[in-house]
Amino acid sequence: MSTGAASPIRRLPDGTVKQVGPLTGTRVWTVPGRANRPIATPREATRTLAPGESDRLCAFCSARYLETTPEKTRLVGADHLELRHVPAAELFDTVAEFRRFGNLFEIVSAEYWRENHGFRQPSWVVEWAQEYLSTPEGKAHIETLAAIRAAATDDDVSLEEAALDLLGGSHDVIVARRHVVDGATTDDELASAGTLTPDEHAAYIAFTVRSLAEIQAAQPNAAYVAVFQNWLRPAGASFEHLHKQLVAIDEHGPQVDHELRLLSHERDLYQREIADLAVSERLLVAATDGAVAFAGIGHRYPAFEVYSTSEANLPQAHTDAGVRAVSDLLHALHAATGPLVPTNEEWHYRPPGAPWPMPWRVVLKWRISNPAGFEGGTKIHVNTIDPWELRRRAVKRLTQLRAAGLIAPGIRIGDECVPADARLRYAESAWDEDAAADGASARPGSR
């Protein structure tokens, strides 16, 4: 391991590990003796589930479809058949393995795009809203949701306007079927991303990638679509029910802008500052043919970084195999983390039209500590688990999971990985990704 003062990560004689994020400049210390604290957050009290209660524990559950906004898409059955624009009267005719709908309380609202950018909903959204309101079930659904939103915002709009905003917003939620694992008897047996099968998780990730492309195509004023997953309340989740969020925004955000400035001088930024550093510090956790996972350096929380090794930059420009490669590693890391650890999952990728290549990467953070006065006053963050210890824990658990057949076969773990697994090809990509992605993201069709 590195010992020089210039290294982004170094261990001091007393065992303290000091890190600086290669892409962020975030300063992090790990102090000896703090890594053995429990990381899971079990409930203070559990409750036995009544018969049938597992499907109605929160508004995202399958017995409560009418408590969310109208569905844009759902996947049904073992083959994950895609159904679009399911009418209110037919919501309970099938069970959705995954479903996509607008967030009732958006971070960036439909009004924001309308008032700040002059955006007007396209004709297909207007037609869908009219069709949805034309049935008694659909009208009642919109009336209920409009009343909830009006009570929260003091903004009273017509039923037609409410329908347009609820159906045509650019902040979507993708929800998995289970709140608790199948057969659960208590309410603490939560179904996390790691409790899905590898195939289920692959469908979840592929569905998210398609949804990302559709939001980009539907909101022409968006510069970027943020994709993230908050798991458990300490990580910011409103419901303890597995879901991802996709939010269109009209700027890249300061971190992406910072990375683009770095890339203007150093095209191999991610290879040299992330991948090569991970190899030299023995921080490779796992790899597939198409993706690699590192224990990340310089994060406020223990964090894994999953990088696609494809030439593609945009998630939707990846092949099915490329998306699956990322999914399998991400699923394995979620499984190794366990369902009782609060986590944030953050997606990073090159914004469409950005001038420099950037790889698709997903960061999985363990939200196991709360920043306090020390961090606020010094801007030095205390991370209780250093990257080498994080790697050791993950490798041990991944090896157990692979032996039990609970993660995708073919994943290389720990010392099975070789430096070639960490070769990132993002800068080799052809520059027709944006055009190809736009062509693949035409107006979503009906069912």
Q: What pLDDT is attached to residue 313?
A: 95
Cα pseudo-dihedral 358, 359, 360, 364, rounded to 10: -100
Nearest to 215, CA basis, from 125, 131, 318: 125
**Mean pLDDT for the stretch of residues 411-426:** 97
pLDDT tens-place string over residues 307-326: 999 999 999 999 999 999 99
Strand segments (E) across 120-185: 171-176
Quick check: 434 pLDDT over 80? no
Q: What pLDDT is attached to residue 34?
A: 60
Of the listed ranges 30-34, 317-321, 365-369, the least confidently predicted one is: 30-34
Quick check: 4 pLDDT over 80? no
**Mean pLDDT for the stretch of residues 172-176:** 98
**Mean pLDDT for the stretch of residues 63-79:** 96
Query: For residues 67 and 369, is the Cβ–Cβ distance under 8 A?
Result: no
CA dist., res. 70 & res. 173, Å (int): 11
CA dist., res. 132 & res. 147, Å (int): 17
pLDDT tens-place string over residues 379-408: 899 999 999 999 999 999 999 999 999 999
Q: What pLDDT is attached to residue 430?
A: 46
Query: For residues 338 and 38, is the Cβ–Cβ distance under 8 A?
Result: no
pLDDT tens-place string over residues 123-137: 999 999 999 999 999
Residue 370: pLDDT band with limits 50, 70, 90: confident
Q: What pLDDT is attached to residue 38?
A: 66
Q: What pLDDT is attached to residue 1?
A: 42
**Mean pLDDT for the stretch of residues 231-247:** 95
Residue 437: pLDDT band with limits 50, 70, 90: low
Higher-pLDDT residue of 441 and 15 is 15
Quick check: 446 pLDDT over 80? no
Terminal alpha carbon distance of the chain:
56
Q: What pLDDT is attached to residue 200?
A: 98
Q: What is the DSSP letter of 50?
A: P
Token readout for 55 is: 């499907």
Q: What pLDDT is attached to residue 154?
A: 73
Q: What pLDDT is attached to residue 419?
A: 96
Residues 6+ apart with CB under 8 A from 443: 122, 124, 217
**Mean pLDDT for the stretch of residues 325-346:** 97
Residue 439: pLDDT band with limits 50, 70, 90: low
Q: What pLDDT is attached to residue 11?
A: 95
Quick check: 444 pLDDT over 60? no
Q: What pLDDT is attached to residue 5?
A: 43
Query: For residues 383 and 28, is the Cβ–Cβ distance under 8 A?
Result: yes
Q: What pLDDT is attached to residue 37?
A: 64
Residues 6+ apart with CB under 8 A from 103: 69, 169, 171, 172, 173, 245
Q: Exposed, middle or buried, 292 (CB in 10 Å: 0-12/13-18/19+)?
A: buried
Quick check: 81 pLDDT over 70? yes
Q: What pLDDT is attached to residue 369?
A: 85
What average pLDDT does the structure give for the chain? Answer: 92
Quick check: 203 pLDDT over 50? yes
**Mean pLDDT for the stretch of residues 286-300:** 97
Most confident of 208-212, 349-353, 379-383: 208-212
Quick check: 238 pLDDT over 80? yes
Residue 376: pLDDT band with limits 50, 70, 90: confident
What's this model's pTM, rounded to 2 decimal places? Answer: 0.93
Is CATH 3.40.1410.10 the right assignment for the domain spanning 251-431? no
**Mean pLDDT for the stretch of residues 98-106:** 95
